[in-house]
Structure 1
Amino acid sequence: MLKRKKPETQLQADVRHILMCTLGAFIIAFNLNTFVNTGGLFPGGFAGVALLIIRGLAKYAGIHLSYSIIYIPINLIPVWIGWKYIGKRFTLFSLYVIVLSSLLTDFMPKITVTYDVFLIALFGGIVNGTVISICLYANACTGGTDFISMYFSAQKGVDAWNYIFAGNVVVLTLAGLMFGWDKPLYSIVYQFCTTQVIHTFFRRYNSQTLMIISEKSEEIYEVIRLLTHHDGTLFKGIGMYQKKERRMILSVVSSDEVSRLLARIQEIDPNAFINIWKTEQLVGNFHRRDID
């Protein structure tokens, strides 16, 4: 029988999430001041929109505004979307990240690590993707288009990150027309690195199909049910080589559950034959964990 560890209380989870969100907010501000502003880049989403407005007003109107004055108000509509469609606790954590990171960006010292714009785009994008992943694991997001992507991922089961990346081209085009094309082109590198890091580290809303051939199918199904709350389908067939009856379990689980599940399956049956492939689209009843 699979033993369950003592579940984390809601208070413990909230404290852990707040600490992660606080760390994320500091990293966001550091990244903006150290890489983005030094390189004159335009990050994706509403952060890029905010910087486009700030730099445009400074260049063409001589008006100098702080980052928080622009970034917090333009996030009000995405925050409303999050509150109504995604989850109240998720939205509150995200709002905390938005406000704290904005204020820290205004008040934290600006540190220059390098003036090489390519290195800035590369490492800045990696840092940005990492901190977005941290916030997502902390049941929060960094604001703006993250809410939109989370909405489509959680409610529709659609991976929207690449579409958000494509939408950022509009902001980069405006930035190129206003400030020249070199920094917007480097910003594409920054945004691409961000997207790839998120795809690598945060896979909750991606799904994979498991095909498991084992003589201990009942025990393996119990593990799948307890660990993932997903069902499985049992198929019976004949092994072509030995002409013996074989049992195969077919189950679809979230990608971030696969590693833990495989470890438990191999404990039960080291000789189990397991085939895993990426699930591009799901139609039908599939258990998705609540964001809150």
Structure 2
Amino acid sequence: MNQLRRVLAVQPGQPASDGAGVRLNRVIGGAGIERFDPFLMLDEFSTDNADDYIAGFPPHPHRGFETITYMLEGRMRHEDHMGNVGLLQGGDVQWMTAARGIIHSEMPEQEQGAMRGFQLWLNLPADSKMADPDYRDIPSTQIPRLHTAEGVEAVVIAGTFVEAEFRQAGAVQRPRTEPHIYDLRLPAGSAVRPELPAGHRAVLYVYQGEIQAQQSHEVKAGRLVRLDDDGELLLSSEGGACILLIAGKPLNEPIVQYGPFVMNSREEIEQALRDFRDGTFG
């Protein structure tokens, strides 16, 4: 075995509220986001209390990045100013490229029951921030998955999952940031060694169970692990666990964020605010 990637930090998410009062666990976001380049934010929503999600996310704008919403349980409807309408259900993914601008809403289509999933913000390079917006719904049946020799299930949302003789391209491939997004489900007593490109920034979030990361760190559910940019991965679980593994190629560009706008300069943020105010957004 070659050298393992060092564990740089293990940290819990922070309670947050967004939209019209939806309660979230903010795993990545806020101060220091450049450490996670090209990723800007990761929110987990996980509750069976309708009061925590029922108000949803009424119409709001985005510019300068992509949003990836991965639904584990529940029903959420997307509508945007371009006329797109989509329904996210358990196992589905929504990949939205805001680019120069999208105004959309995300509203629950249920009044009771569990709502569980994630939303990840992926930065766009400077020369793509004002490109045409795009939107894609990916039903669970179109998201590749495989089982490794140790019985680990890998749901391959983006990038290409590689371990030993196993290789599976994901539902989405992206240039420049080259994201790898996997939902790894480890049965009790199993281990997984996914290969990632050298230089890719990598984090993993344990959303169920407990794992041993890189042979030395016990990580319980609700914790984010930030890893070094080089070396191998070794993840194991004695009792079983579910992990969201995220990796991408850093852009190494200035990040200036104001709420739902992420650009490279203050002047570009001010232009986004003017465009939204003047009705020329998107």
| Structure whose CA Rg is larger | 1
TM bucket, shorter chain: under 0.3
Larger strand percent: 2
Larger helix percent: 1
TM-score (norm 2): 0.26
TM-score (norm 1): 0.26
